[in-house]
């Protein structure tokens, strides 16, 4: 791609950079990537999916260490890509720049907020991409676009020189069509190695309540994959035998997130309300109602949930299998009320890794009757290597498209 080539603004940001050369040879030589419009590159403006943000902030003085690491490992950057406005959405829709077409499901939303990161990989523009995940912004578009997607342990990747949404939950994440590519990128960013095989092979656990809400097609695929891989799968009552509910986790997450967004960006949001998508503005107005005491109590509840989840995982082999999204991607013409209801259900699933800070790896299943979707592996903190090794065994013969 030429440095001055006009590209689809629904996907690619026009402020650049359009191209960054590798700064050295390394394990990622020959691979190309894009990055979400939340990461800084020295001399360029970060737009965060909103023209007013782009215009009201000076160009960056330094480059994200994530981007620098990838370039020094031999990868070539093919540009900056769009995000949902201020990363405060999970749909992949942006009223300012448009909605990228979902290559895996035309007529459906691509998922967000890392929409450009997912779509570029799904349509083959690049080998991998970097997004962020606060409430599901890597896991959800990975699911909707038929990709592998990793949300790592909270704090695993350096978020210096990256737009902050909600500090309790923000992570960087990776998209790829090929699991081996994602693994290589993870190793570079984490300076860790991933085992070639899992020994001993763990039993995977699937929450019975979640299993009951899977489509018949996806439920069967889960069991088939485990059987073919020689991995035992057991269903167990985790959520229903606890004090937690998915709706409650969704509300807990949204309350903490909303409060932190207002604390970080409240003044700017007040001064630029007229620049916001009405749906985003409604979310901002709700976030303003979260009281200090609600936030403080919420942080205590978050700690209690993390403690409970750690104990459950530790007792049951360290890995859960769970649906990344309730189903395949919703249609572009879904009603606002239906989308709001779906968002609550969706965030009940994504809040599990969000509130705990534990790593989650999305695995795409192809040819599903309800559209692109799949399952995730959820693990204990800093066990990404184990999740990737289990995924390689589970997904042998079924790469993403």
Catalytic residue list: 36, 113, 137
- Give yes or no for a contact between 379 and 358, defined as CB atoms under 8 angstroms apart: yes
Give the CA-trace dihedral at 66, 71, 75, 80, to 10 degrees. Answer: 60
What residue ranges in 267-365 does DSSP mark as E strands? 319-323, 360-365
- For residues 401 and 394, what is the distance between their CA atoms, to the nearest angstrom? 16
Residue 172: other Cβ atoms inside 10 A: 25
- For residues 47 and 120, what is the distance between their CA atoms, to the nearest angstrom? 18
- For residues 322 and 227, what is the distance between their CA atoms, to the nearest angstrom? 17
- Give yes or no for a contact between 135 and 253, defined as CB atoms under 8 angstroms apart: yes
- Give yes or no for a contact between 349 and 325, defined as CB atoms under 8 angstroms apart: yes
- Give yes or no for a contact between 181 and 128, defined as CB atoms under 8 angstroms apart: yes
Question: Distance from first CA to last CA of the chain, Å, rounded?
Answer: 22
């Amino acid at each position: 791609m030429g440095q001055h080539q006009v590209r689809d603004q629904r996907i690619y940001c026009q402020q650049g950079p359009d191209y960054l050369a590798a700064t050295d040879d390394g394990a990622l030589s020959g691979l190309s990537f894009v990055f979400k419009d939340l990461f800084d590159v020295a001399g360029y403006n970060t737009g965060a999916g909103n023209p007013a943000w782009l215009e009201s902030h000076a160009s960056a003085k330094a480059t994200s260490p994530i981007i620098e690491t990838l370039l020094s490992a031999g990868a070539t950057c093919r540009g900056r890509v769009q995000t949902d406005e201020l990363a405060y959405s999970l749909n992949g829709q942006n009223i300012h720049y448009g909605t990228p077409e979902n290559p895996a499901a035309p007529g459906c939303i691509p998922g967000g907020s890392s929409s450009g990161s997912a779509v570029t990989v799904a349509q083959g523009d690049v080998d991998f991409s970097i997004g962020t995940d606060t409430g599901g912004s890597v896991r959800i578009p990975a699911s909707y676009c038929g990709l592998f997607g990793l949300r790592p342990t909270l704090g695993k990747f350096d978020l210096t020189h990256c737009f902050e949404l909600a500090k309790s939950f923000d992570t960087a994440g990776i998209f790829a069509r090929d699991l081996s590519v994602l693994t290589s990128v993870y190793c570079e960013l984490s300076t860790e190695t991933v085992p070639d095989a899992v020994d001993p092979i763990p039993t995977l656990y699937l929450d019975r309540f979640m299993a009951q809400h899977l489509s018949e097609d996806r439920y069967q695929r889960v069991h088939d994959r485990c059987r073919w891989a020689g991995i035992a799968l057991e269903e167990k009552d985790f959520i229903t035998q606890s004090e937690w509910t998915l709706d409650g986790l969704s509300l807990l997450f949204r309350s903490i997130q909303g409060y932190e967004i207002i604390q970080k960006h409240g003044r700017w949001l007040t001064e630029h309300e007229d620049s916001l998508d009405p749906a985003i503005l409604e979310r901002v107005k709700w976030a303003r109602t979260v009281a200090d005491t609600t936030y403080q109590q919420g942080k205590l509840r978050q700690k209690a949930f993390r403690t409970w989840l750690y104990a459950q995982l530790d007792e049951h082999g360290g890995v859960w299998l769970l649906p990344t999204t309730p189903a395949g991607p919703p249609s572009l013409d879904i009603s606002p009320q239906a989308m709001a209801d779906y968002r609550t259900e969706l965030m009940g699933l994504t809040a599990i890794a969000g509130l705990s800070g534990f790593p989650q790896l999305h695995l795409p299943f192809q040819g599903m009757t309800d559209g692109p979707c799949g399952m995730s592996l959820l693990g204990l903190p800093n066990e990404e290597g184990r999740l990737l090794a289990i995924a390689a065994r589970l997904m042998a013969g079924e790469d993403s498209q």
